[in-house]
A and B are shown apart, each in its own frame.
Chain A
Amino acid sequence: MSEPIRAKRKNPVLRTRLPTLPPAARSRAALGLTAAAALGRFELQQCRDCGAVQYPPREACQKCLSILLDWKPQPEGGELLAQTVLHHSNDLFFRERLPWRLGLVRLDCGPIVVAHLHESATQRVRVRAALDRAGQAVIAALPDKEGSDMADDRQLREFTCDPKQRKVLVSDGKTALGQALVKEMASAKAELIWVGYAEPWKKFAGFDELAQIPQVTLVPLDVTDSKNVRELAAEIAGKVDIVVNNAEHHRTAGISARQGVETARAEMDVNYFGLLRLAQEFGPAMRSRGADGRASAVAWVNVLSIYALANFPPHGTFSASKAAAHSLAQCLRAEMRPAGVRVVNVFPGPIDDEWSQLLPPPKVAPAALARAVVSALRDGVEDVYPGDVAQEWLARWRDNPKALERELSA
């Protein structure tokens, strides 16, 4: 059983541990593992000709020399052959975190892998690919049966962004999704939850319920107001460990159904410039706290939309604003990576709210979406496609982006 995590007050006289990253260099072949891990999948190369599963990643099949190696989901079971505990490392990141447990695992699908080893793992293990602090995939070997406090494993926590004992900002508490996110963060034992609301002069539906959650502090936050964002950042940016930016403006219109650019501009102002304002004001402080003890700044979550991948004409301007936000989030990810702060992008299909009323089900329920966000933080995933519609669009988009464009314009 893992020891529970107790967040301790930081002694301000002691040094702040500066962000370092585990070794990030990878061959292009190895980035296939990262691509799958970003989605929470465990995939290894498999030979299209002879079926042999390969690891470490390579350019040709070690059995038949075929170059047709496809990344395919693999069974996660394995046998722990040997383990070690490192008390010495050549790398700064690990030197700060010794001792460090490693296992040598024979996967049921064949290959031998070196893996980060959970402290409770015994002979039978299951492996996962997770993104490490450098944003690159690593393999972790976990106990065969999930323990209740698995996320408390000291090493595993270095790769995940578990909200437990962390301080969270949810940028908009007014929407159903925002309120579901706050509740989910609270039940995930977040230490503090700041909840933004844009119009502090009026109470929104659900305000009282939120205010009763002990960890919650409601703060005025309008992401279209640069001054307001700056003032809030001055107050809390140095304490926030996880930002969840769910502030969103969503109207249903394409190009010709509506005159003028006001609606489109409002969408851009919240969905794109809102993210930019938050990132400019909160990003630098979070970057400096990327390794600050066990409850360090760890993640930035953007609620985007599956429409960011391909424009959905009935929601054309909204799609465009989300595509812009997605592009900016990639920039944010690159800038946060040196500090080990993960940018998690969430691409839901239509949410079951007032702005998708003409869309047929399945639609993703706000509570389900909130659960997906917390799971992503716990699992070390950085791209989340929650719900059936998002999964289906993702599959269609990965298969053939042009085909999806034609299908959506039909």
Chain B
Amino acid sequence: MLAVPVTVPYVRYSIRAAHWWLARALSLLLKESGLGKDEIDGLTVSSFTLAPDTAIGLTQHLGLSPRWLDHIPLGGASGVVALRRAARAVQAGDADVVACIAADTNHVDSFRLTLANFSQFARDAVYPYGAGGPNASFAFLTAYYMRQHGATRDDFGKLCVAQRANALKYPHALFKKPLTLEEYLSARPIAEPLHLFDCVMPCAGAEAFLVLSEERARALGVQYVRLKGTIERHNAFASDPVQMRAGWALDRDDLYRQAGAAPQDMDFVETYDDYPVISLMQLEDLGFCGKGEGPAFVRRHTFTHDGSFPLNTSGGQLSVGQAGAAGGFLGMVEAIRQLTGAAGGRQVEGAKLGLVSGFGMINYDRGLGSGAVVLEKAQ
């Protein structure tokens, strides 16, 4: 079971360390759940800017003594992977209550430093080429996708505009102004064909949730949702020249078999949306449409929380902001809110089943990690 979705409100820049953000998230988890700190006996931590510390250092920093601990530095795949590992720990009895926390700070220069040292391959073979960061890598993917599958900027714009509409109903979103398609199309270029509103804004923030047994959730009296199925895969399709698919395409049948559901049963979907092309890739790989049919799918649907295909209902990272590894938790936290009726003005009506997808770590020319979960409203 997943419960107690919490968000530490984002800011563009923070003078605090990642530890501060992680501590705030844990504190919120305790406050919302009524648990004491000693009752957290499992912990996963995801953060880029926690370095040189890792999860184990954080236990001393925060005065925790968990009997199960995991550091999950998987970027945008962190949320799904944290949930998978925590759920197994609870299932196996290794922990009773696992706090899954992701947070990153954002100092004025920390994004550049994170990029410059992101990975050995990035430092050797990507960063010296214009130092564009992920914008450059995803520009290649986007250009290739547009050429292969006939996507246009209007298609990507439609997703961005809809997500902004969702974000206006999400109090923690950093973007508070509506976005029109005209504004999207006339924005300045960043890394062609990507323009300003195709790119996420780095910021500081934290997201967290609890994983625990149904009995424990009931005893605490918290709203919870059920994990129905989940997949994870790394470095899939390594010989594809340009990434047009990831592990979901390999494992999605397994996901839907576990969940006892089909793509069309989902009431909403939370994709990892560092760039809109990645959302299309996930929708295709997860079987909502065929490979290359993303553009037609976009033209056929509306994506606001009250649309024909509610997508990234809190606005996604494109409109909320990308708080480092917390961006990999954004969809998970939002899905828990949707399935516990806690999504306020952006509530998807009658939401019973939701899919959350994660994607992370541009080690060199492509994102390596992918995962997905199907969550169900508890009866």
Contact = CB atoms under 8 A, between A and B. Distances in A.
Interface of A: 22-27, 29-30, 55-58, 81-91, 93-94, 100, 102, 104, 106, 112-116, 132, 134, 136, 138
B190 A87 contact: yes
B365 interface: yes
Given A56-B121, A86-B135, A112-B365, A104 B188 contact: no
Interface in B38-97: none
The 4 closest A-B pairs by CB, nearest first: A91-B131, A84-B139, A56-B125, A30-B124
- The residue among B130, B192, B241 with the most chain A CB atoms within 10 A of its own CB is B130
Contact of A102 (B121, B129, B144, B147): B129
Contact of B131 (A57, A82, A94): A94
A57 B129 CA distance: 15
B116 A86 contact: no
A91 B112 contact: yes
Contacts of B190: 86-88
Contact of B133 (A57, A90, A93): A90
Interface string B190-225: 111110000000000000000000000000000000
B364 A23 contact: no
Determine the main DSSP class of B at the interface with A. Answer: mixed
Nearest to A59: B120
Nearest to A138: B128
Contacts of A106: 241
B181 interface: no
Contact of B130 (A25, A86, A136): A86
Contacts of A25: 116-117, 123
Contact of B126 (A24, A27, A114): A114
Interface residues of B, number: 37
B268 interface: no
A100 B136 CA distance: 10
Given A85-B191, A91-B130, A94-B131, 12 more contacts: A22-B128, A22-B131, A25-B116, A27-B123, A82-B141, A84-B193, A86-B130, A91-B116, A102-B130, A102-B140, A112-B365, A134-B128
B143 A138 contact: no
Nearest to B113: A90
B114 to A, nearest CB: 10
Interface in B134-154: 135-136, 139-141, 143-144, 147
- The residue among B125, B127, B194 with the most chain A CB atoms within 10 A of its own CB is B125
A90 B133 CA distance: 7
